[in-house]
Amino acid sequence: MSDKPFFSARDLHAYYGDSYIVQGVSFEMQEGEILAFLGRNGAGKTSTLRTIARASNPLLQQGEIWLNGEAVHDMQAYEAARRGIALVPEDRNIIGGLTVEENLKLAQIAEPVGWPLEKIYESFPRLAERRKQEGTTLSGGEQQMLAVARALARDIRLLLLDEPYEGLAPVIVHEIERILQSIKELGITSILVEQNAVAALHLADRAIILDMGQIVFDGTAQEVLDDDAMRQQYLAL
């Protein structure tokens, strides 16, 4: 493993209007690592993901973001996406009026493209069965699969997943876990924000716990699983 980080966030400070949301967040990742971003509601997890993806809200006012040696912090969201940063938001953003296949093909209009449709359908057989169905009429779990598959249709280098298990039945959660495990085995660098902390920790290599926009823990996922007091204090587990 290289000593040089594949991804680094350095002293990030971001605001929603006058609300100071991300307060000096710094961390690094090696290529292929999966990081669980944990914390109570309102801790700043989603805001940090959106800051990394260069979304306009929250607005980054200080700090640096580097991906594979390239500065990302001055980029617009579409430029960061072209560099391989893919955000799968909690609301999934499936495009209405388009079928599953049209949603996937739309993601591949511009270079660089990622997985071909055949590989996507092999990994997501439910989507293969529903390829001609309008994307917004899928179940919640199937929409989550489509959102992840749409990200993989691009040539991604950093996958940002915001609450992929939110509102899903346990059987669908297991299916999403299988897909994310496959992504891990492919060596895709990923950051996972998830209220289902135990599930996220079993998937992740490392964990960061946020509280009030600041990092209060950065270590291995197993350390969090083994520390009952820390889980109770910051995760209410």
Extents of the domains making up the chain: 7-235
Nearest CA to 146 out of 121, 109, 112 is that of 121
Sorting pLDDT into bands at 50, 70 and 90, what band is 69?
A: very high
Structure tokens at 32: 């292929």
Sorting pLDDT into bands at 50, 70 and 90, what band is 110?
A: confident
CA contacts within 13 A on the Cβ side of 194:
27
Q: By the 8 A CB rule, do 95 and 135 touch? A: yes
CA distance 81 to 202: 28
* Predicted TM-score (pTM) above 0.85: yes
* Whole-number pLDDT of residue 77: 96
Q: Which helix (H) or strand (E) holds 177?
A: helix 170-185
Sorting pLDDT into bands at 50, 70 and 90, what band is 213?
A: very high
* Whole-number pLDDT of residue 229: 95
* Whole-number pLDDT of residue 184: 87
Q: What is the assigned CATH class of domain 7-235? A: alpha beta
